Amino acid sequence: MLSKSASADPSDSDGADDRPGRRRSPWVIAAAAGIGLFVGLGAVTAVGAVTGSGVFNTGPTPQQQAAVVLRADALVLLRVAGQVDQAEDLQALNAAGDNAQSVLRGVQLRTALVDKINDQKVRLLTQRVHAATVAAITGDAQLADVTEKHLDAWDDAQSAVSNASGTLDASNVQVVALDTKHPIRVNVTLLDHSTAHASRYLTKSAKRLANYERKLAAFRRKHRRQIQAAADYEASVSSQMSAYEQTRTDLQKYLTDAKEFYTHIDDFRSELQAAGTRRQGILSTLSSITPPAPVAAAHQGLIDVLNKAVSGTEIGVRLADATQKLRDQGDGTSGFDLPEYKQFQDASDEITNTLGANMAAWQSAVAAYEKSLKSGKGAPEKPSI
C-alpha cells in the first residue's frame, strides 16, 4: 500500500523533471499531429500535380492525348493497308475499298480530339499525322470505284496515298517520341507495299485487258469479213440453184404441153438442149465457187445434183432422137411410150428426191456456219480481272 506522499506519475520513478515549464500539454501534441498531416497532404498533392499519379489527377498530358488518337489511327490504317495488300483480284480490291470507306468516318471523328490538344507543337504534329492517315484511308476507299471499264479510276487516289505515306514516314520519329514506353509505329512499309501491289495489279490488268481487246477487235474484223464472205457465198449459190429450179419448171411445162398438144420432135430436142446448156453453165459456176470448209461437203452435194441434171437432159435428147427415128420409119408410136422416156422419167424423179435432201443439207450447213461466226466461237478468252 502506497503512502499518501508517494507520486502517481510514472516519470517520478525514473527521475524525470516535473517542473511546470517541462510538462507536455495534450493540446500541443494534437496540434503537432495536425500540422504533420497537412504537410503530408500537401506533398502528395504537389507530386500528383507534377506526375499526374497522385490523389488529385489533373488529366492526360498533350502527348498522351496525341498518343490516343495516333495509336487508334495506326491500327485502322494497318487493317486497311493489310486488306489491300492481300487482294488478289478486282473484286477483293473493291471489297478493300468498301472496308476503307466504312471505317473512314470513325477516323475523321477523331479530328475533334486533335483540335483540343492545348500544346501547339504536339497539336500541329498530331494534326499533320492524323490528316495524312485520313488521306491514305480516303485514297484506298476509292478502290471501290475501280471497274473493268475504268481500271484507271484509282490513279489520282494512288498518288494521294503515296503522298500521305511520305508524310507519315517523315513524322515517324516524332510520333515514336510521344510515348517512349509504348512507341507508336505507323507501318509505312506495309502501306507502301499495299499501294505498289494494287498499282501493279491494276496496271497489269489494264495491259492484259488492252491486249485482249486488241485481239478481240482483230477477231471481230476477221469474222466480219468471214460473215460477209459467207453471206456472199450463200447468195451466189442460192442464185445458181434458183436458176436451175427455173430450168426444171420450164422443162416440166414443155413436157406437160407436149402430152396434150402435138409437138414437133425438133422443138422438143431444141428445148432439151437449151436446158442442158443452161444447167451446164450452172454446174460450171457452182464448181468454181470455193465454199467455207464447214460447208464443203454440202456444197458438193449440190454439184452432184447438177451433174445428174445435165445427164437427165442428155437422156431427154436421146428420147427425142429415138422418137424421130420412129417417125422417119413411119412408126407413129408416142415418144412417151418408149423405154427412153421411162429412163428420162426415172432420172427426173431421182433428181427431184436428191435435190430436196441435198438442198436442205446445204442450207443447214450454211446456217450453222453463219451462226458459229456470229456467236464468236473461237474468240480470244477474256482475262479474269
Residue ranges covered by each domain of the chain: 62-186, 214-374
pLDDT at 125: 97
**DSSP H helical ranges for 261-338:** 265-288, 296-328
User: DSSP code of 153?
Assistant: T
SS3 assignment, position 173: helix
* CB 67, CB 178: distance < 8 Å: yes
C-alpha cell at 157: 487516289
For the whole model, what pTM was predicted? 0.53
C-alpha cell at 223: 469474222
Crossing angle of helices 90-109 and 120-141, in 10° steps, is 150
Question: What radius of gyration do the chain's Cα atoms show?
Answer: 55
pLDDT at 93: 96
What's the rounded Cα separation, in Å, for the pair 198 and 269?
85
pLDDT at 269: 78
pLDDT at 260: 52
pLDDT at 30: 30
* CB 320, CB 272: distance < 8 Å: yes
CATH no. of 214-374 = 1.20.120
Distances in whole angstroms, Cα of residue 99 to Cα of each of 42, 82, 83: 53, 11, 9
pLDDT at 17: 39
* Positions in the chain short of pLDDT 70: 1-58, 256-266, 335, 385
Q: What is the pLDDT of residues 40-91, one digit of tens each?
A: 333 333 333 333 343 334 689 999 999 999 999 999 999 999 999 999 999 9
Amino acid found at 359? M
pLDDT at 209: 83
pLDDT at 257: 65
Handedness of CA 119, 120, 123, 129 (dihedral sign): negative
